[in-house]
Structures are given as C-alpha cells and as structure tokens.
Structure 1
Amino acid sequence: MKAQLPVTILTGFLGSGKTTLLKRILEEEHGLRIGVILNEFGEISIDGELVNMPEGGLMQLNNGCLCCTVREDFERAARQLLQHAQALDYLVVETSGVADPRQVTELFVQRVFHEELRLDGVVTLVDGAEYWRNFQRSQTAAHQIGSADILLLNKVDLIDEAERERILLDLRRYNPAAPCLLTTHAQVPLARILDVHAFRPELWDPRLPDSGTEAHPSHHLEEDGIQSVSFQLQQPLDLGAFRDWLQDLSETVFRAKGVLSVLDEPQRVIFHQVGQRQTLFLERDWDPDEPRLSKIVLIGKGLEPEQLAAGLSRVCGATAAG
C-alpha cells in the first residue's frame, strides 16, 4: 500500500446530500480507484444499497454514530480496507448525518494513520432549504459547519437569492475561513473538493465553534435526543397509501429514507423525505435472488416505534417489524 493515501471526509446534517455527492464521486470518470467507509445511524443500511462498489472497496458501519459509538469500528474498518484493497488511490469517508466530524478528524491530527493515510479535507454539505430548522434540531449542525475545510451550500435551487445571502452570512459566523461553493443536487467539480490539500493540521482547533470548549461528541446524541427507528415490510405496499403515511409523519421526524417493494411494480422504489419534501424514484429491477422487502429508516426525536409500526401496518396492509 502506498503511503499517505489521501482521505476526504464527507459530513453534513441529515438529508443534506452526502450520499448524492458520494455517488457522483464514484460515477465520474476521473481515473481514481476509490475506497469508501460509509456510516449510517440506523440499524438497516439504505445508503449502502444505493452505492455501487466492487466487493472489498466498501466498508459499512451501521447502527451508530461515527464520532462516538462506532469510532473504534472506523479505525478497524480503515485498516481492514487498506489491507484488502491494495490498489486504492483515494479514500472517502461519509459520516452519518448526526455525526460530529471532529472526533474522526482528531484521528489524523494524532497521526493514528500517519503511515497510511493523509486527511485531505473535511467537506460539509449544508441543506439550504432546511438550514435554520437544522440548528433547532441539533447543535451538531453547527459543529459540522465549524469543522469544514470546504463548505457546500446545497439545494440552492430551493431558496431565493435573499435567503441564500442570509445563509452565506450566517455560515461565516461559524466558519469564516472555509471556501463555500453553491450547489444543486450536490453537483460540484471534483477538482474543487478532492486532493486539494485543504486540511491544515497545524491550524486544527478541537474547540467547538462559538463555545471555546473542547468537543465531547460522545454525549451529543443523548443531549439532542436524536434516535432512529427501522422497519422491514414483507408484503408489497400501496405507494399512494405509503406517501400519505409519510406526509402525516410528525415534524419530529427529520429524515426518512428507504427501499420499497411496491404492488404491481417490478422495480425497486427509492424514497427520501427531508422535513416535508418527498422524493421517490424507480431504481432498478429486483434481482431474482434478493428478497422483496421494503426497508425504511426514520430519524428524529421522540419517535414511538410501536405507533409508527401500527401506522405502517394499517396503510400498507403489512406487518412492520422494527
């Protein structure tokens, strides 16, 4: 393995566009052989199913937050990926939407991977349409912005120019140094975010923005009260009824995503919901040897799994197992 393999950390709050950007990175013709470490907060992996990677090039860390509960798993995954993927040119780490990237960054400041890896930069995606609401949902949104070497203000097509300028001004309050690029659907020239030597370890500050205190993200989920609930539905569902169920979810559900098996539809349906915005699209035919299961992950506060499962059973005519 070559020394000093460059690493980019992709972070950003729930639904900001991290996996969309990761897919763009993997699908573009740049000639780089890229390995991925993907962290998801829910028990069921959704993003991992959407990323097409050759076997051995993708490590998934589920059911935990990369900055605290699965941090040791990250170290093991990185070493395992390096051991079994000898021909990599680059490594991309996508954190969960509730992760504070400072603890992962600290691994590189402490030179834990000094012989193998070089942190190239922390890229934080910011959801322009949910910007102010995300600060109300969790203090982690501010920590992700303050940790960035490069900021991407995403979904600018959903906000007007005056709102965009207000957000850009506020971003400077949390991170006056990082360049900020405006994006739609996470479209950004990769030359602006990969192998740019944006991370400067000598300038790295472990203090949280605007606080002057050391970061202790291992407690941030308990403090914020953020949780995830996962379901699997064995019977095909009615898409219209499911969309109505999504629309009726409480505002305490910040993020919903999943892979759906739909009645009379031979293809998998992918859905995303951020706040009250829904996106559903056909992905591909179900493989003959894969079980046709609907997999659903909800992330938010004050979630009641039994009540959510009962609602899914009523509108979908299936038994939800959470």
Structure 2
Amino acid sequence: MIAAINPTDDRTTVPVTVLTGYLGAGKTTLLNRILTYEHGKKVAVIVNEFGEVGIDNQLVVDADEEIFEMNNGCICCTVRGDLIRIIGNLMKRRDKFDHLVIETTGLADPAPVIQTFFMDDEVQTQARLDAVVTVVDARHIQQHWEADEAAEQIAFADVILLNKTDLVTAAELEELEQRIRGMNAIARIHRTRDAQIEMDALLGVNAFDLNNALQIDPEFLSETAHEHDETVGSIALVESGELDGAKLNAWLGELLREHGPDIFRMKGILNIAGEDNRFVFQGVHMLFDGRQDRPWKASEPRKNELVFIGRNLEQMNLADSFRACLVQIS
C-alpha cells in the first residue's frame, strides 16, 4: 500500500555505510583508510566474516573506533537478529561515534543488510543507510562474473570503487567500466589504486536517501543505456503526467509478488494525482518504503522518474505496465 511515511529526522539518526565487494577486492584496505583518514568523524565498525575464525578484525588497524565482529556466517536472514542486536548495543554509546561502517564478507549478498534498515522499526529510528559502497577488483573481476554475489554487489551499489586500476590496461579498464555501467547505471564509479579515495566521496553522501532529488545521468536515458549482455542490468523510466494511486498500488503489489526476488533495487520520484507533494520511494527485493516529500516547485515539471536494478528486467514489461498507471486524459 502506498502511504506517506514520516521520514526520520536525519539529525538524530546515525548514517551507515555498507561496505561490500568480492573476495580480495580491497575492502579491508579501504576500511583502514576510513579509520585513519583525518575526516573528523568518529567511526564505529561492524566486521562480518565467513567461518568460525575471524581474520579481518586482526587486519584492521588499531584505532580508537569501536569494532565489532560477527563471525557466525554471512550476514543474512539467519543472523540479521545479531546485526540488529549489535546496532542496538552500539546506540547505547551513541555519543562515542558519528558514523557506522558495516563490512560484509566477500561472499555475501548485501541485500539482507540493506533490508535490516527497512524491516526493523527500532533500527529505522536510530540509523539510516547512507550508501552501499562496493569495491571491484579490476584485475580479477573477470574470473567472478559467474558468481551471483559479485553481480549483486555491483547491482546494489550506490558508490563503486573500481580498484587496482594499475594492474590493467586503459582499454581493459574502459571495457570493464562499461560493463559495470550496464549492470548499474546510477552508481557513482571511482577509479582507484590501493583504494585511495577522498572520504567525502564515501561518507555522508546521502546516496541511498531519496529526500534529495533523484539524480539520473542523462546518458543513462538514451536508448543504448539498456543494451547489455548480462541478466543483471538497470532500466530507467521517465514519464510526464499524473499517476492513479490505486492503479500504482496494484501494479507495485503485483510486480513485487511476481518478480520481487529479481528486483534488487528500485527508487523513484512520482507525481500522484491530487497530491501537492512529490512521492519518493525505494525498494529492496520484496520490501518497499515510500513517503511524501517536499511540495512540487512551480518551476519544475511534474514528472515521474523511476530506476530499476535487477535481473531479467526486460522480461517484466516495466515501461508499458507503468504507463498503464497514468491518469488517462479524456
């Protein structure tokens, strides 16, 4: 059901960065840079490892930051309760940190971590997802395209570090970036060596929050933007006109019931008939979060902008079925 959801006050919630990437991409190197960088933030860290013996925690630099380790398997539905519990315990020491970083194991699908910030009411009042940052190994990613986790980590990302660029040729790098762009056309891509990047590109970027206007690369809306040879990709829809709220509800419900597992991310700004405010939404698989945003400005066109990232999107007939939700002008 589409309804206005009061957004949590950003001043009282802790911004969270989910750090992901396939094995050996450079996540721990980036985490150490975050912990040692003079950015003026106090950072708490949750490190998740696969297996009974934790290694990453031992590799993280000795710092004043709070570091918690979850080593009972990939962060998924079976241990989501642990993640919720750790976040709850962290919030008891809210005055000791300004930002939370969750590093997932290289074998993890980041979706369950993201879903935690949708599913648990208490977490929603205490923390907000700032961005999903994915580190991609430019040298070795070619060996992992068949792994679902590698594709999903890219598809879920708000920020992508194309790392180890010094180990590939310029032509290989360009080809790789184009392939990544075909899988996720809205993520910000940074080419890095040894995970060197300015922290203002990672922390406090508000990339997952649609309180700000949805930013879409104009080239993304070109016809060629939808051409790719992988099952994971992204599609943008831009339509003028007003939406029938009831039809939109029915369409989204049917879409999530039939294709929810294949829809990794969706986000958008909508013009609902009879509403003076923009409606913003974002979803992860079967979960959907929407709310009224600021009023439409007199100078801006009232249009609908949506982005879907997932698998086999071309088979979902998204454009035609969405247009069917528009109010028909007689």
TM-score for the superposition, normalised by structure 2: 0.60
Tell me whether 1:8 sits opposite 2:17 in the alignment. Answer: yes
1:187 aligned partner, one-letter code:
Q
Measured in 1, the distance between the counterparts of 2:183 and 2:125 equals 32
What amino acid does structure 2 have at the position aligned with 1:153?
Answer: L
Q: What are the residue-to-residue correspondences of 1:205-224 with 2, within 5 Å?
A: 205-206=284-285, 209-212=310-313
Shift in Å at residue 205 of structure 1? 4.2
1:191 counterpart (200, 207, 222): 200
Partners of 2:193 and 2:51 lie apart in 1 by: 26
Separation of aligned partners in 1, 2:192 and 2:77: 30
Structure 2 CA distance, aligned partners of 1:116 and 1:85?
Answer: 9
Q: In structure 1, what is the Cα distance between the partners aligned to 2:61 and 2:179?
A: 36
Partner residue of 2:185 out of 173, 176, 190: 176
The one-character-per-residue Cα deviations of 1:209-235 (angstroms, maximum 9, x if unpaired) are 22359xxxxxxxxxxxxxxxxxxxxxx
Distance 1:54 1:190, change over 3 A: closer
- Taking the aligned partners of 1:184 and 1:56, their CA distance within structure 2 comes to 25
Give the whole-Å Cα distance in 2 for the aligned partners of 1:60 and 1:163: 36
Deviation at 1:83?
1.6
- 1:116 corresponds to: 126
Distance across 2 between alignment mates of 1:130 and 1:210:
23
Give the residue type in structure 1 aligned to 2:127: L
Kindly tell me: are residues 25 and 165 of structure 1, through their superposed partners in 2, closer, same or farther at Cα, counting changes over 3 Å? same
Gaps of 5+ in 1: 214-322
User: Does the CA contact (< 8 Å) of 1:56 and 1:85 recur in 2?
Assistant: no
Are the aligned partners of 1:9 and 1:95 in contact in 2 as well (CA < 8 Å)?
Answer: yes
1:194 Cα deviation after fit: 0.5
Secondary structure, counterpart of 2:116 in structure 1: helix
Q: Which of the residues 107, 111, 135 maps onto 2:116?
A: 107
For residues 172 and 151 of structure 2, the distance between their equivalents in structure 1, rounded to whole angstroms, comes to 18
* Runs of 4 or more above 6 Å deviation: none
> Partner letter of residue 134 of structure 2?
T
Superposition RMSD in Å = 2.1
Aligned match of 2:282: 203
Report how many aligned residue pairs link the two structures: 211
Q: Give the residue type in structure 1 aligned to 2:30.
A: L
Secondary structure of 1:100's partner? coil
Structure 2 residue runs without a partner (length 5+): 1-10, 211-280, 287-308, 315-330
TM-score normalized by structure 1? 0.62
1:126 corresponds to 2:145: no
